[in-house]
Amino acid sequence: MHSPAIAIRRTPLVAVYGTLKRGLGNHHWLDGADFLGEDRLTSARLYDLGFCPGARAEPSRGIVVEVFRVDAALLAGLDRLEDFRVRAPYAGMYHRDVHATAYGPAWLYLYNHDVTGRPVIDEGGWPAR
């Protein structure tokens, strides 16, 4: 999958599904990012962790994400927020993977820990509207 990774390095896109969405508590971490629009991803499923959702790379009926264009500094800030560790991607709370969106390939933060017993959000978004 080298072509999506190459494209993402030139114009990094991030698809967000939880507290980073517009109007929610962590959206300020995306100050300066360009909002491109919403999309529905069937390549990921959300789990309600209580304080936030966690996505897993599992088929779903379509979770709602917001897609943003970010620069390297904003992406590094998001990595800190999401506890993504470049040298040990599965050691933190989330790792990143590229998923196809209507706006091009985008990073999606995927939850690293066990989701047994967590409510599934198979369609729609978080928080539930």
Q: What would the pLDDT profile of 77-113 be if each residue is shown by its tens digit?
A: 999 999 999 899 999 999 999 999 999 999 999 999 9
Q: Per-residue pLDDT for 9 more than 60?
A: no
* 3-class SS of residue 118: coil
Return the closest-CA partner of residue 47 out of 109, 117, 100, 129: 117
What CATH number corresponds to the domain at position 75? 3.10.490.10
- What amino acid positions are annotated as catalytic residues? 82
Q: d(Cα 106, Cα 47) in Å, to the nearest integer?
A: 20
* Total domains in the fold of the chain: 1
Do residues 29 and 77 lie in contact, with contact meaning Cβ atoms separated by under 8 Å? yes
The mean pLDDT of 57-69, rounded to a whole number, is 97
* pTM of the predicted structure, to 2 decimals: 0.90
pLDDT at 71 over 70: yes
107 located within any domain: yes
Of the chain, the end-to-end C-alpha distance in Å amounts to: 35
Answer yes or no: is 129 within a domain: no
For residue 128, being part of any structural domain is answered with: no
C-alpha distance from residue 41 to each of 15, 72, 100, 105 (Å): 9, 24, 8, 12
pLDDT of residue 1: 38
Taking every pair of Cα atoms in the chain, the longest distance, rounded to a whole number of angstroms, is 39
Predicted confidence (pLDDT) at residue 118 exceeds the cutoff of 70 = yes
Domain assignment present for residue 108? The answer is: yes
Show the domain range for 91: 2-123
